[in-house]
Structure 1
Amino acid sequence: MKEAILYQKLPKNKVRCGVCQRRCIIPDGDVGYCKTRVNKNGKLYATIYGIASAINNDPIEKKPVFHYKPGSSCLSLGTFGCNFKCLFCQNWNISWADGVAEARHGTKLNPQQAIKLAQKYNSEGIAITYNEPTIWLEYSLDVFKLAKKNHLYTVWVTNGYATKETIDIIVPYLDVYRVDLKSFDDHFYQKLINVPRASGVFETTKYLHQKYPEIHLECVTNIIPTWNDQPKTLASIAQWIKKNLGGVTPWHVTRFYPDAELNNVPPTPPETLFKAREIGLEAGLSFVYIGNLPVEKEDDTYCPKCGNLAIRRTGYLTEILGVDQKGRCLDCQEDLNIKR
């Protein structure tokens, strides 16, 4: 447990948490929405500091991140709790967990131990993933500071609902921001996630890119039949990415599988994913990838200018074929927005 770094003290021993856009007002003795931050006598504490629910050495492509250090591995850490309640969450067993209660059952891993573990596994980076890293801000910050001192890259796999204050705190130690853009529809966020509006995610993502353009950014949309699979919805996301993040920003459109409380919805039809990719390309995006569907070539990276095969991906086996050390196409020198 560690005192939180973003909160405001209020009258009657209440506090207002500042890590995510819920900005929970928490009475003394109570917890916030994420069930990981507790008010004790007018001070806010992160109960999950140094408590891991999952520890793996993953290919960076599993995040998914395709254009940063392709072929590398990163120590991937998750904890308990989340500031969302996605009814389709594939990691619901940890993200829906009560952080206060589960803190007793997780694996204790202080920042120094995390770095040593990454070095033991020969990881090139560290990713905070599996559940929402925003609620693990204090731990993420301490781990990332040490990671940079030890020449490890850093990745945040996020739902994008952090506050701007959180972004400003973590960015000096961040290399990759992998964000979920689930839908432009408020109804989607209200019914499936218990968040009042979608715009907060897009506003924060735009803020990060405009203020910190050096941060590598990739976007993911998990396409759920009848909920966010309409061509108009997908086109609006693709057009927003092109306008606000740039046409070379990778967009991953991934297949939904029934899980958690949304197990009555069928998996995404392959043709819907192919159509989504087509929509992204028509919107001016250069790199649109299909995920969670084993189809040849849809995970490969091609130069948008000359068509040269830059990176071939077979599962998590990555072959760098046509990219120079500066991330340009070997044939025509087009910038592929790949950081090696």
Structure 2
Amino acid sequence: MTTAFWDTQGIFLVDFLSRGETVNSDSYIDTLKRLRARILRARPDMDSENVLLLHDNARPNTSTRTRETIATFGWTTLRLPHPSYSPVLAPSDFNLFGSMKQGMVPDWFCVTPESESLDERSFIQFIKNDSFSEERYQECFVTNSSQCTNFRFLGPYMTVTEEWTLVCDRNWVRSTLISVQMTGMLLGCLVAGQLGDQFGRRRVLNAYTLGHALVNIGAAFTNSWQLFAVTRFLIGAGIGGIITIAFPYGLEFLPLKWRPFTATFPFWGAGVAIFTGVAYFLPDWRNLHLALGILNIPCLIGYWKTPESIRWLAAKGKKDEAEAVLQKMADTNGKPLPPHTGELLETV
């Protein structure tokens, strides 16, 4: 468990609770003492009477011993009649969670040689006992002039940030990877439309799906962030192409009454929800890419099971093939093909 304290200028202290421990009055008071020491070092000009502590009304926070300790600090506590979590805390949460827009970044420390070989549990205990450990939390410099070269990441997830140490002087890489993928998505949209008009919706859609699957699998084996950026560009292109073709291609075979519902159904949101569940069980980013690639492969069955776009066939002068597709649809639904079908196809 992690407890963070911050104000409008940034994070003051991040305190870690060792595995198997629980938050009680004693542990919370120890945390507050470390917070006070941090404030005195980071803001020596700050008057204790100007400290306004906002925390929820969990039992360790409101116990008599905790309130007495806070009183000795001279702090003011914002005491409002709200439940353990409520909209009262929303502005403070927004201030902290704004950094999440940049993507998932695990907790990291600039470590010293004496803590380098410790396992995660021992390391957490070490930084709790070291009175200066909070100064190295997400700090890029050991001193004012010496840049940190040894980092320690915490958490159950293996991300690309940890894989290639995308912090400090490489901090820009994370946002660049997102921009690269979105650029690929834009170009994928533009190219897919032209290819679909030239070679057919079904062929291009399945080609994009196959490419998307293979590149995701390939991304799992990249050994540098530069090569990973290339795969992210291609993945973005695949997403853009699939979206551009799949929606109009699928709607073409639906009755008019079902098209508005299908066009507005939140497929993207549903996919994100499923993706979140998959990521929970696959905490390593390489395994996650492998899973995404493999899950795309069954979609390729559609190449043999789905027909070509009727509108595209008619526009290309392939009237007989278009009429054959319509005949198959009519037979499947147990209805006769309208007698003027050929004339309608000629007007497309």
Tell me whether the two structures share a fold, i.e. TM-score over 0.5.
no
Structure with more strand by fraction: 1
| Range into which the TM-score falls when normalised by the shorter chain | under 0.3
Structure with more helix by fraction: 2
